[in-house]
Amino acid sequence: MKLLFVADPLESFKTHKDSTFAMMREAARRGHALLACEPQGLRWRRGEPVTATAREITLTGDEHDWFRVAAEHPALALKDTGAIVMRKDPPFDSEYFYATHLLGQAEREGARVFNKPAALRDHPEKLAILEFPPFIAPTLVTREAADVRAFHAEHHDIILKPLDGMGGMGIFRVGPDGLNLGSIIETLNGGGARTLMVQRYVPEIVHGDKRVLVIGGRPVPYCLARIPQGSEIRGNLAAGGKGVAQPLSEADRRIAEALGPVLAARGLLLVGLDVIGDSLTEINVTSPTCFQEIMQQTGFDVAAMFLDALEAAL
């Protein structure tokens, strides 16, 4: 089967930890042909199917010089592939949005896309948690500074974050003294021009911001707890957090088993739930990671579970 990965430039992959690479390696092991393109290579011309400027690649086994180009495809019709795996990293900006529309058209022409383009648009990664109130800490989404101040007055210790942030960027904590709250609100909401999210601080962050992977509606039995280091409040690996794989807790499993079938039915084959303590904080749908860290520390082959689910969905 031909598998097309829509992703960031292959040359930028850090293969020792990249989850997309882990998917590719397992797919190649199963005999699937690997193709790759970047979102800017998608094209839709009047009267023609959606195509991509794609490269067919083979894996070398070398960690650094890790692929060879076997063939160039200047106008690969997406409908002629076996499956398309959308793995472009955030931010979810206007170009990402347009790419989902092109992939949606390819679906109408017969392509199979995972995660489904419409589901990617319908599940903004921070906002999506509000659909599941029993599993989240007190949370507010607003543009209004007065709303944020009232939320702080009620909960005293809060986290503020932009809706379009990634890797822990733009996250602030404000304690009971309210120090710098006004300045932080101004920074994040641009004088009321941008929406932000406010949540009650969850002190269990010291034990890690857990990434719980859900594949085909079923949880991976291990999560990766991303533990803040030093004076940081952020556990994100991109912000210097330490990743520690561990079995799912009862709360982790309860959340994953409640949300997994719902999200899978909407076309989300792979989801990364972020959980602090027993509170859901994000639903990651664009390019959930941590495959290799979990595999390296526990021996559980997350990529194999993903390929099993992908093949079963076709």
Q: Which of 25, 116, 210, 211 is catalytic?
A: 211
Catalytic annotation present for 115: no
pTM metric for this prediction = 0.95
Model pLDDT for residues 70-93, shown as the tens digit of each residue:
999 999 999 999 999 999 998 899
Number of H helices, E strands in the chain: 8, 17
Enumerate domains of the chain plus CATH numbers. Answer: 2-116 (3.40.50.20), 138-201 (3.30.1490.20), 204-313 (3.30.470.20)
Q: Is residue 118 over pLDDT 90?
A: yes
Q: Which of 55, 87, 88, 126 is catalytic?
A: 126
Mean of the pLDDT values across residues 8-16? 97
Catalytic annotation present for 79: no
Q: Which of 115, 189, 236, 284 is catalytic?
A: 284
Model pLDDT for residues 177-200, shown as the tens digit of each residue:
999 999 999 999 999 999 999 999
Q: Is residue 304 over pLDDT 90?
A: yes
Long-range contacts of 24-30 (CB under 8 A, 24+ apart): 24/59, 25/59, 25/303, 26/301, 26/303, 26/304, 26/306, 26/307, 27/3, 27/307, 28/58, 28/59, 30/307
Catalytic annotation present for 252: no
